[in-house]
Structure 1
């Protein structure tokens, strides 16, 4: 059965959350948004392309930073409303320079920065 991005469940803005995970380690790197066209572009090129809500434009991860995400696998959750992207990450995934955007941990009610 061939995959059609139009079969995904997008929100009212036409977007779907996409979780990027390191394919080798399982580390969750970031969460961003995609629309049907960015999903199609990602599948066609093998380079992950998101939709920037602030710029209202496509955003190929790494196009300015060089911190590219190469698609290894795309998974659709059971409700078809969230994507899991298994990626090969070059450099940090977070715009702060951290490997992952999830570097703040809450322990006993306190925030602890782990990166």
Structure 2
């Protein structure tokens, strides 16, 4: 059986993919992958996701320059979630300019932002729009 056939894809042909720092174990972000994105990720050795909003493949870093180099790929026990152990080149995984997309903590009935913006998002994307 093909390794891609062993994944329990959802009704849209997607699987959630969690990007985790390969050294610290910190969760950086969550995105979606289809078969092509997952196969290309293993071929190109970098994170490639499926953008539901754009309806196309999204090579992480293609607009920001913040590429995720793949170190290891894991599949959970139900075969319906992928974990990518990555090296976050450029240090910023989140489009908000933070290291991680998980920068809010639930406290006293509300979400509190606990991590700073490391780089202005407008500057991140402006640097790479003229490529």
TM-score range, shorter chain: over 0.9
TM-score normalised by structure 1 residue count: 0.95
Aligned structure 1 segments of 4 or more residues deviating by more than 2 angstroms: none
Which protein is richer in helix relative to its size? Answer: 2
How many equivalent residue pairs? Answer: 114
In structure 2, list runs of 5 or more residues that go unmatched: 116-131
Partner of 2:26 in structure 1? 27
Contact 1:22/1:86, CA 8 A, preserved across alignment: yes
Q: Answer with 53-62 or 4-13: which moved more.
A: 4-13
Say if 2:82 is the partner of 1:83.
Answer: yes
> Match of 1:40, SS?
helix
State the 1:19 CA deviation.
0.4
Which protein is richer in strand relative to its size? Answer: 1
Q: Higher Cα Rg: structure 1 or 2?
A: 2
> For 1:102 and 1:57, how far apart are their aligned partners in 2?
24
State the 1:110 CA deviation.
2.6
Say if 2:49 is the partner of 1:50.
Answer: yes
> For 2:2 and 2:62, how far apart are their aligned partners in 1?
26
> Match of 1:47, SS?
coil
Contact 1:52/1:58, CA 8 A, preserved across alignment: yes
1:20-45, Cα deviation, whole Å (9 max, x unpaired)? 00010111000000011110000001
What RMSD, in angstroms, separates the aligned Cα atoms of the two structures? 1.2
In structure 1, list runs of 5 or more residues that go unmatched: none
Q: How does 1:1-115 map to 2 (within 5 A)?
A: 4-90=3-89, 91-115=91-115
State the 1:3 CA deviation.
6.3
TM-score normalised by structure 2 residue count: 0.83
